[in-house]
Structure 1
Amino acid sequence: MSQDNLGFSASLDCIDQKKQPSSNGSSSRNGKDGVYTVELQSKKKYVEELEGTYDPYQNREVEHPTTFWETLFHLLKGSLGTGILAMPKAFAHAGFAIGVVGTAVIGFLCTYCIHLLIRSEYELCKRRKIPSLTYPTTAIEALRDGPRCLRPCAKISGTVINSFLLIYQLGTCCVYTVFIATNLKSAFDSFLKEDIDVRLYMLVLLLPLIFINWIRNLKSLAPLSTIANGITFASFGVILYFLFRNAPSIEGKSPVGKVADFPLYFGTVLFALEAIGVIMPLENEMNDPKSFAKPAGVLNIGMVSIIVLYIGMGFFGYLTYGDDVQGSITLSLGNEPAAKVVQILLAIAIFFTHALQCYVAIDIFWNGYLLPKMADSGKKTIIWEYVVRTGLVLITFLLAVVIPELELFISLFGALCLSALGIAFPAIIHICAFWETSTPMERGILVAKNMSLVLFGLLGLVVGTYTSLEQIITKFSK
């Protein structure tokens, strides 16, 4: 049991010792205004007494806190990556009608599940009297307070979530490397006499990717994130010109796609919409974390903006280019100079975003596992941190070289990791975090509501992963 849990349990014991039960299961104590009756069966009352006026947000000490707008820019940049450019292909899989409705529904579910996760973290921090928790530690502490059948899984839950986060973040960085190299190749091919292999472009990118991932805090990444956002929105303006210079038409476009391709659509949309890996680091690093989950806070403003942009890009991109649209719409724009400029600009923007995505993987691997073991060893940890940062970039580079298929791996990583991380796990955590403080009726509602999310997430994980892997095997067996 952790020190936090020991303190929590000790406090409960102290309350029990101060209260002598009567024959009817209650006890009395003299207060300033008279006699108060406390039901021993009411754990909710105990929790309220333990929490007191402690506010985790007021007790956070962040070395490099980010402002509201810096956090919003980080969230937008973390979501407005290669995923939005793959949305027209996703709509080609689902059909334009299913694409619009499905993206709105999935976007709402993703946002709702993030709120569940943030709410659970705040409740557990307040209960434990600690300033913040990461995603894995939130799961551990939640399961320790959850139903008795789940409590033995508490310790392993952190490792499971960290594994999914590592796979997703490194997979995302791999996809980014492929995207940058593919777009640079498309942009420069028309100016070069020889056809250069996309892997050579990846090799040229290796050192710049290593150097940008040596930036060690989010505060220093904020200017790069702002520049990337500016480049991205400017590029989207040019893409919109290509989409609307001729009026898009639904003629020949399917409102409903093939059912067999729906899992590919689902995985791509999840990959595009979910920024679950950066959500808690962003919230924990804010100078005013209360503004993150407010109705008009960072999360809702960011996610609504993202959903609208994704639906628009997917819908009009599919109507313009039809079923022939490629995995990234930038590769379907043609050979005009403006198209080449967009490809280069977006390659630069995604290059900056690589560092933000890799930040989470580095935080998990270095701060979560290696640094605690090296703290007392007397070694120069700063040197080893740079070694780890370089090593993780090399891993994503090698994956990109071996597997340079953009569309299929976007769908795979979305279905495999984000169905669990973005939907199923937050729902389970929410059940456990509020289990002890809920009445039997509240527990029934809590379980029914959240288990429907868990089942939906697991269905997407199994079907989406299977379909993506089948497509990948078919592609490489040709």
Structure 2
Amino acid sequence: MSGKASPQGGSSSPENKPLASPRAGANDDYDPHEHRQTENPTNNVESLIHLLKCSLGTGILAMPQAFANSGLITGIIATVIVGAIITHCLRILIRSQYWVCKQKRVPLLTYPESMRGSLVAGPPFMHKLAKPSAATVDTFLVVYQLGVCCVYIVFIAGNIKKLVDPFKEMRIELHMLFILIPLVAFNLIPSLKMLSPFSLLANVLTVIGLGIIVYYVTSDQKTDEPIDLWGSPKTFPLFFGTVLFALTAVGVVVAIENNMKTPKSFGSNFGVLNIGMTIIVLLYVAMGAIGYNYCRSQCLDSITLDLPDSGLATSVVIMYTIAIFISYALHCYVPVEIVWRDYLKPRLQKKGVQKFWPYEYGLRIVLCLITFVLAAAVPRLGLFISLFGALCLSALGMCFPAMMDFCCGWPDRLGPGRIIMYKDILLFIIGLIGLVAGTYVALVGIVKSFTD
């Protein structure tokens, strides 16, 4: 097995070895980390930079509106709490994947394969869930990544509309239509290596743009209305969904750990994950607080839309529009790989198909069209962010890792008084409540936005 990481954060050639007894492996000398063979592994500093770069997307730009839904003090406290919970869940996800790899004696496994393996090791009532769990995780991953792409289309079109409206006002759906062909063409680039120069450009533009945004929101105010310190329970689920969308980069975190030169240092107490997530949470709290102080209840879906009409502010909108356009292809690459490698290509091979490229490019076009149709049907950036954050990341970032941690500890590694079991049950319940409440409130908000 090569051990090369895939977009799902696992192996590019999945192993299907039977799982050993849950009691086996505690004293096993097999260490998956020592058997990984990754091309161009990253050191700790490079891994930390990758983790930080992934936090500077549309999520951080939506934090001022998230604070408008939560209130200033509630937003600060809740962001720190949610950040701590998400960090812990990501740690137990990485730990559970390592444990399943150790049991199967393989270097790497994808998130879905690890989920299946952990449920097999759990209590008997979990065993029936093992087989469909992999497809369930894949479904959530695909839906989430396509949701991100929908968010990006709405973001790009909304920012172009802000630039064009002073000259000619048009519906946002028309701007989406204008960018459709360039998006499809860019999405046909077949490899991440070919996208890497564009990714570098996107990172540079993002950092510069973020610096200019901070300058604006700290030097002026959009309104003098009073600050809401505590918010309302009715809009808090929207805040929860936005924060989850912003903070929970499940696939990215797993992929970074899988490609590290020293993966054991990733989840240590002062490792890459804890340091990176601490910096990220502080950045999001800062942007949410100062952005909300700038625009108060008038915060729009993205802070770029709240900036004044000036040359410097316009340059920020242009930079972020280009950066997010580039990021669209990077995020669409993940669902393409999942659907193509695990589902479509194996079926074509069984049918004896010789030429695969027309089908793969057809898949890329279809997925791009799906995101366009959804974005055009519901051009509501903030509600889209909350919807996909609550729906997908509550499951991927909280519920599933809690289930895996419980099953991997079953039956005799659940701590004194089975405290780990109760902790995992609590995490699962929090994730489930966030999923149901956040999804419901976001859907109600979407429906209301069309009827008002």
Could you state the TM-score of these two structures normalised by the residue count of structure 2? 0.90
Residues 1:419 and 2:394 are matched in the alignment: yes
Which residue among 77, 85, 107 is the counterpart of 1:109?
85
Between 126-135 and 356-365, report the one with greater CA deviation: 356-365
**Within the alignment, does 1:199 sit opposite 2:173 as a pair?**
yes
Q: What secondary structure, in the 3-state scheme, does the structure 1 residue paired with 2:125 have? A: coil
Per-residue Cα deviation, 1:201-228 (whole angstroms, up to 9, x for no partner): 2223223323333344444444433322
Distance 1:459-1:311 versus aligned 2 partners, 3 A rule: same
Matched letter for residue 319 of structure 2: L
Task: Give the counterpart of 1:362 among 336, 360, 383.
Answer: 336
**Runs of at least 5 residues in structure 2 that lack an aligned partner in the other structure:** 1-14
Equivalent of 1:429 in 390, 404, 422 = 404
Cα distance change, pair 421–130 in 1 and its aligned pair in 2 (3 A): same
2:444 alignment partner in structure 1: 470
SS of alignment partner, residue 264 of structure 1: helix
Counterpart of 1:400 in structure 2 is 375
Change (3 A) 1:225 1:293: farther
Identity fraction in percent: 44
Cα shift at 1:196: 2.7
Cα displacement (A) at 1:63: 5.3
Taking the aligned partners of 2:266 and 2:194, their CA distance within structure 1 comes to 20
Provide the C-alpha distance between the structure 2 equivalents of 1:288 and 1:205, rounded to a whole number of angstroms.
42
What residue in structure 2 maps to residue 150 of structure 1? Answer: 126
Task: Give 1:216-365 correspondences, 5 Å limit.
Answer: 216-246=190-220, 252-365=226-339
CA 1:305–1:71 in structure 2 vs 1: closer, same or farther (change >3 Å)? same
How far 1:383 moved relative to its partner? Answer: 3.5
Question: Helix, strand or coil: the match of 2:234?
Answer: helix
Q: Is the 8 A contact 1:270 1:415 kept in 2?
A: yes
Count of aligned pairs: 437
| Alpha-carbon distance in 2 for matches of 1:235, 1:102 | 26
For residues 219 and 446 of structure 1, do their structure 2 counterparts lie closer, same or farther at Cα, with a shift above 3 Å needed? farther
1:323, distance to aligned residue in structure 2 (A): 0.7
Indicate yes or no: 2:422 matched with 1:448: yes
Structure 1: tracts of 5 or more residues without a match: 13-42
Deviations 1:75-99 (A, max 9, x none): 3343321111111111111110001
The letter for the 2-side match of 1:101 is I
| Letter of the 1:269 counterpart | V
Q: Evaluate the alpha carbon distance shift between residue 468 and residue 162 of structure 1 in structure 2; reply closer, same or farther with a 3 A threshold.
A: same
Q: Deviations over 1:430-456 (max 9, x none)?
A: 1111214526x5571221111110111
- How many Å separate the matches in 2 of 1:279 and 1:407? 24
Provide the secondary structure at the position in 2 that maps to 1:79: coil
Residue 365 of structure 2 is aligned to residue 387 of structure 1: no
Cα contact 2:300–2:306 (8 A) shared by 1:
yes
Does structure 1 residue 134 correspond to structure 2 residue 106?
Answer: no
One-letter identity of the residue aligned with 1:172: V
2:142 maps to which of 166, 170, 173: 166
Shift of 1:393: 1.4
Query: Which is higher, the Rg of structure 1 or of structure 2?
Result: 1
Give the SS at the match of 1:417: helix
Give 1:363 deviation, angstroms: 2.2
Structure 2 distance, partners of 1:250, 1:447, is 49
Aligned-partner Cα distance in 2 for 1:209–1:96: 37
- With 350-359 and 457-466 compared, the bigger mean Cα shift is at 350-359
> Aligned equivalents of 1:66 and 1:386: distance in 2?
31
2:385 paired residue number = 410
Contact 2:378 2:446 in 1 (8 A): no
Taking only aligned residues, the RMSD between alpha carbons, in angstroms, comes to 2.4
CA distance in 2, matches of 1:206, 1:72: 34
Letter in 2 for 1:407: G
Q: CA deviation at 1:247?
A: 7.6
In the alignment, which of 158, 179, 183 is matched to residue 182 of structure 1?
158
What is the aligned partner in structure 2 of residue 23 from structure 1? none
Structure-2 residue corresponding to 1:438: 413
Pair 248,109 (structure 1): closer, same or farther in 2 beyond 3 Å: farther
Amino acid in the other structure paired with 1:392: L
CA gap of 1:284–1:363, structure 2 versus 1, over 3 A, is farther
**SS in structure 2 at match of 1:195:** coil
TM-score (normalised: structure 1): 0.85
CA deviations 1:236-264 (Å, max 9, x no partner) are 11111111223899971011011211111
Q: Is the 8 A contact 1:95 1:257 kept in 2?
A: yes
1:123-182: CA deviation from partner (whole Å, max 9, x where unpaired): 110111011111111110000000111111100111111111111111110010110111
Letter in 2 for 1:211: A
Contact 1:134 1:281 in 2 (8 A): no
Does the Cα contact within 8 Å between 1:65 and 1:219 map onto a contact in 2? no
Q: Residue 37 of structure 2 aligns to a residue in which SS?
A: coil
Q: Give the distance between the partners of 1:406 and 1:216, measured in 2 at CA.
A: 28
Question: 1: CA distance between counterparts of 2:17 and 2:447?
Answer: 47
Residue range with higher mean Cα deviation, 109-118 or 381-390: 381-390
Q: Distance in 1 between matches of 2:407 and 2:417?
A: 10
